[in-house]
Amino acid sequence: MTALDARPRTGATLRFPAHFRWGTATAAYQIEGAAGEDGRAPSIWDTFSRTPGKVRNGDTGDIAADHYHRVSEDIALMRRLGVTDYRFSIAWPRVQPTGRGPAVQKGLDFYRRLTDGLRQAGIRPVATLYHWDLPQELEDAGGWPNRETAYRFAEYAGLAAEALGDRVATWTTLNEPWCAAFLGYGSGVHAPGRTSAVDSLRAAHHLNLAHGLAVRALRGAVPGAAEVSLTLNLHALRARADTPEDADAVRRIDAVGNRIFLDPVFHGRLPEDLVGDTAPVTDWSFVMDGDLRTAAAPIDSLGINYYSPATVAAGTSPSPSRSLSPSPWAGAERHVRFVPVPGPRTAMDWPVDPDGLHELLLRLRDDLPGVPLVVTENGAAYEDYADPSGQVKDPERVAYLHAHLAAVHRAIEDGADVRGYFLWSLLDNFEWAYGYSKRFGIVHVDFPTRRRTFKSSAHWYADVIARGGLTA
- For the stretch 378-414, pLDDT in tens is 999 999 999 999 999 999 999 999 999 999 999 999 9
User: What is the chain's alpha carbon radius of gyration, rounded to the nearest angstrom?
Assistant: 21
Q: In the prediction, which pLDDT does 325 show?
A: 76
Active site residue 377: yes
Total length of the chain: 472
β-pairing verdict for 469-471 and 124-130: unpaired
| pLDDT beyond 70 at 12 | no
> How would residue 450 be classed by pLDDT, with cut points 50, 70 and 90?
very high
Distances (CA, A) of 213 to 58, 87, 137: 36, 22, 21
Answer for the pair 3, 414: CB distance below 8 angstroms, yes or no.
yes
Instruction: Give, in degrees to the nearest 5, the angle at Cα 49 between 380 and 253.
Output: 55
Distance of CA 383 to the CA centre of its chain: 22
pLDDT class for 9, splitting at 50, 70, 90?
A: very low
Contact indicator for 421, 15 with CB cutoff of 8 Å: no
Distance of CA 221 to the CA centre of its chain: 24
- For the segment 189-234, what is each residue's pLDDT rounded down to a tens digit? 999 999 999 999 999 999 999 999 999 999 999 999 999 999 999 9
Candidate list 176, 359, 396, 431, residue with the active-site label? 176
> Looking at residue 462, what is its pLDDT?
98
- From residue 224, give the alpha-carbon distance in Å to each of 49, 125, 166, 221, 227: 39, 16, 10, 9, 8
Give me the mean pLDDT over the 366-374 stretch.
Answer: 98
**Model pTM score:** 0.96
Enter the DSSP assignment of 42. -
Q: Which of 227, 359, 377, 431 is catalytic?
A: 377
CA-based nearest residue to 173, from 26, 45, 299: 299
Q: How far is CA 108 from CA 38, 93, 96, in A?
A: 10, 11, 9
Residue whose C-alpha is closest to residue 177's, from 123, 100, 118, 256: 256
| Alpha helix segments (H runs only) across 124-257 | 136-140, 148-164, 177-178, 197-219, 244-254
Q: Give the torsion through C-alpha atoms of 257, 175, 303, 345, to 10 deg.
A: -70
Helix (H) or strand (E) holding 175: strand 170-175
Contacts for 68 with CB less than 8 Å, ≥ 6 apart: 32, 33, 34, 37, 110
Pairing of strands 227-232, 170-175: parallel
Question: Which of 33, 112, 87 has the alpha carbon at shortest distance from 103?
Answer: 112
Assign 4 a pLDDT band (cuts: 50, 70, 90). Answer: very low
**Cα–Cα–Cα angle for 331, 261, 288, rounded to 5 degrees:** 85
Q: Please say if the pLDDT value at position 126 is more than 50.
A: yes
189 contacts 433 by C-beta, under 8 angstroms? yes
Per-residue confidence band for 321, with pLDDT thresholds at 50, 70 and 90: very low
Backbone torsions φ then ψ of 23, nearest 5 degrees = -135, 180
> What confidence score (pLDDT) does residue 181 get?
99
**Other beta carbons within 10 Å of 359:** 18
Q: Do 414 and 362 touch, CB atoms closer than 8 A?
A: yes
Sign, Cα dihedral of 296, 297, 303, 307: negative
Indicate if the pLDDT at residue 243 is higher than 70: yes
Contact between 325 and 188 (Cβ < 8 Å) = yes
Whole-number pLDDT of residue 10? 44
Neighbouring C-beta atoms of residue 87, cutoff 10 Å = 31
Q: Is 176 a catalytic residue?
A: yes
Q: Is the pLDDT of residue 357 over 80?
A: yes
Q: Which backbone phi and psi does 373 adopt, to 5 degrees?
A: -115, 145
Specify burial of residue 286 (Cβ count, 10 A radius: 0-12, 13-18, 19+).
middle
Mean pLDDT of the 170-194 span: 98
How far apart are the C-alpha atoms of 420 and 408, rounded to whole Å?
9
pLDDT of 11 strictly over 70: no
- Alpha carbon distance 357, 364 (integer Å): 11
Q: What is the pLDDT of residue 2?
A: 37
pLDDT category, 3, cuts 50, 70, 90? very low
pLDDT at 318: 53
**Could you tell me what percent of the chain has a pLDDT over 70?**
96
